[in-house]
Amino acid sequence: MKNNLKLILSITLTSLLSITCKKNLTETVKSTPVKELTQFTVTSNTFKDGVIDHSLLKDLQSPQLSWTNTPVGTKALAVVMDDGRHVYWSHSIKNKSTSLKENELGIDGGFKLPNENSESTIATIELFALNCETNEIQDKVYKAKIENKIINKDIDQTRIGVRKLLEKMGLSNAIIGSATISYTIKKQGPIAKKESLDLAPEQQIQQ
């Protein structure tokens, strides 16, 4: 009888402990905050409605940029804007910045429109987060050129070209994150030409 009582008490205690442990574990899981993933993003209010209108950019030196959620470990930023062939703009930015005003770089902004014969229809801005200073990469590129490890044709300033160059130099890990935004290209319309009429001499005199 005593043994049966002990057995019943033992089973009851084990069940209670099991329920308590499960409850505590559930409460712990519920009370642990879930860390939301944040995305590195870049935006520009220079280009309206997702369109790059060439006719409105004649005097542009550098576009406005804003970015958020820069990756941890970022020491510098580099931005490239291209259409796959033509590089509109490229620049290095200090990591402490979170935005760039339009034309903040003045005449050294370096913004360039492609020629009128360009067939590209999409232009993309890509902001690279780097784990080193941009001048460190520039010094290594210069040294590689001096040692003939790379030649001028290896230095392509397009977004894809930047990645290929870093890969060729064993610096692929320098890019720890990137953010992109793309726009449809609206090209400048043809310039209207003044029509010249071939008038007879007497008509020209009358005018």
**Mean local confidence (pLDDT), 147-156:** 82
User: Which stretches of 32-185 are DSSP H helices?
Assistant: 134-146, 159-168
Contact 129, 40 (CB under 8 A): yes
Task: Write the CB contacts of 186 (distance below 8 Å, at least 6 apart in sequence).
Answer: 51, 52, 53, 54, 55
**Mean local confidence (pLDDT), 133-148:** 89
Helix, strand or coil, per DSSP, at residue 78: strand
The answer to which of 7-11, 56-60, 93-97, 171-175 has the lowest mean pLDDT is 7-11
**Mean local confidence (pLDDT), 160-183:** 92
Residue 153: pLDDT band (50, 70, 90) is: confident
**Mean local confidence (pLDDT), 191-205:** 42
| Report for 25-39, 120-134, 136-150, 153-167: range of highest mean pLDDT | 120-134
Helix, strand or coil, per DSSP, at residue 101: coil
| Report for 21-30, 36-45, 68-77, 151-160: range of highest mean pLDDT | 68-77
Q: Is the pLDDT of residue 32 over 70?
A: no
Q: Is the pLDDT of residue 34 over 50?
A: no
**How far is it, in rounded angstroms, from Cα 116 to Cα 35?**
49
Q: 81 or 169: whose pLDDT is higher?
A: 81
Q: Which residue has the tokens 């043809």?
A: 190
What domains are there in the chain, each with its CATH number? 41-186 (3.90.280.10)
Q: Is the pLDDT of residue 173 over 80?
A: yes
pLDDT score at 78: 94
Q: Which residue has the tokens 């970022």?
A: 74
pLDDT score at 188: 65
Residue whose C-alpha is closest to residue 60's, from 39, 34, 89: 89
Helix, strand or coil, per DSSP, at residue 66: strand
- CA 50 from chain centre, in angstroms, equals 15
Contact 62, 89 (CB under 8 A): yes
| Residue range 38-92, pLDDT digits in tens | 799 999 999 988 999 998 888 899 999 999 999 999 999 999 999 999 999 999 9
Q: Are strands 99-100 and 87-94 parallel, antiparallel or unpaired?
A: unpaired
Contact 174, 166 (CB under 8 A): yes
